[in-house]
Amino acid sequence: MRRARAGAVLFLLAFPVAALAQGVGPSVAFPQVTAAPIPLQSASGRYSSLNPPNRLACPYSKVTGRVVSSRLILVKEMKCGRPGHDNVLVNVRFSNPADAEQMITGRRVTIAGKFVSAQEDRDELFFAEFLIAEQAALAGADPVDGSAPPVPAFTSYMLCQPPELDALAGTLGKELCVQNTLLADLPAISPALEAAARMPAKLAAGDTVPGAASAISCRLDPGVSDLHLPAVACARNSYWAWYRAKWLDTRLATPAPP
């Protein structure tokens, strides 16, 4: 029986290198980053897709949520696609790129546009679901206090092939996906991240990850991060604990930890 999954490790935004997989095997050629469109995040942020199919119109012309990035907002509740959507990521595709400048982390904004949901099969067990605001425009926003310190990340998502990890991805010979909030502290966590990425565990979604909540661990992600290339996904153990809970109970509405 197929299990519905709303999630997102980001699809391949790889680098212009031909990297050999560890051990014996053919080389894996990664396309140019600039040649690939920006991928869409799934509702939970665990997966991604360049062009998810099976699109359906949503009964919204506006939604309000908190800014996660220049292209993502977190919406408390959205009844579209799979039932039971709470605290979901919505991809925002602005008609006017200048609107993205107003997307300040944590800011409450209202986005107008054409809202759709999409689903993409990832294997025989689940599918990823995506919520998208097409032809979007900023329809309203809370005032910005310029004297206040920047708002820290309050949720996280998986990001594949970030430029900061170009060299590491090349040596792995696999798609490299990381929890996006790790990049904010990259100089400090680079040794631990590299060590974990070179020795990824073969774990199922429902497996428990041992170790401290703040520790970084990686897992092999075949057919999940990317449909065609082998992948390694890395995150803090607190993220993997959240992912395990969401896998076991799809009604879990708690957003991913930062």
Q: Is residue 132 part of a domain?
A: yes
- Over residues 146-190, the pLDDT tens digits come to 888 989 999 999 988 889 998 999 999 888 999 999 999 899 999
Using the 3D structure, point to which of 115, 141, 167 is the last residue of a domain: 141
Whether residue 254 lies inside any domain: the answer is no
Per DSSP (E only), the strands in the chain are 18-20, 27-29, 40-41, 48-49, 56-57, 62-69, 72-77, 86-94, 108-121, 127-141, 158-160, 175-179, 216-220, 231-236
pLDDT in tens, 194-222: 999 999 999 888 888 889 999 999 999 87
Same domain? 212 vs 135: no
For residues 185 and 236, is the Cβ–Cβ distance under 8 A? Answer: no
Domain boundary residue, one of 114, 141, 168: 141
The total domain count for the chain is 2
Kindly state whether residues 126 and 170 are assigned to the same domain.
no
Question: Are both 58 and 90 inside the same structural domain?
Answer: yes
Q: Which domain holds residue 29?
A: 18-40+158-248
If one compares 35 and 249, the residue with the highest pLDDT of the two is: 249
Residue 118: inside a domain:
yes
Boundary of a domain, candidates 110, 141, 172: 141
Looking at the fold, whether 77 and 204 belong to one and the same domain comes out as no
Report the pLDDT averaged over residues 239-255.
Answer: 88
Regarding whether 92 and 31 lie in a shared domain, the answer is: no
Please report the pLDDT score of residue 6 as a whole number: 36
Specify whether 104 is located in the same domain as 183.
Answer: no
For residues 50 and 13, what is the distance between their CA atoms, to the nearest angstrom? 10
Q: Are residues 137 and 55 in the same domain?
A: yes
Is residue 128 within 8 A of residue 47, CB to CB? The reply is yes
pLDDT digits 0-9 by tens, 114-144: 999 998 887 656 778 999 999 999 999 999 9
DSSP H helical segments within the chain, as ranges? Answer: 166-172, 186-198, 237-248
Q: What is the CATH number of the domain that holds 54?
A: 2.40.50
53: in domain: yes
Query: Is residue 115 in a domain?
Result: yes
Question: Quick one: 100 and 181 in the same domain?
Answer: no
2 found inside a domain: no
Interval 8-41: pLDDT, tens: 333 333 333 333 333 434 433 333 334 456 889 9
- Considering the domain boundaries, does residue 109 fall inside one? yes
Alpha helices in 45-165 (DSSP H): none
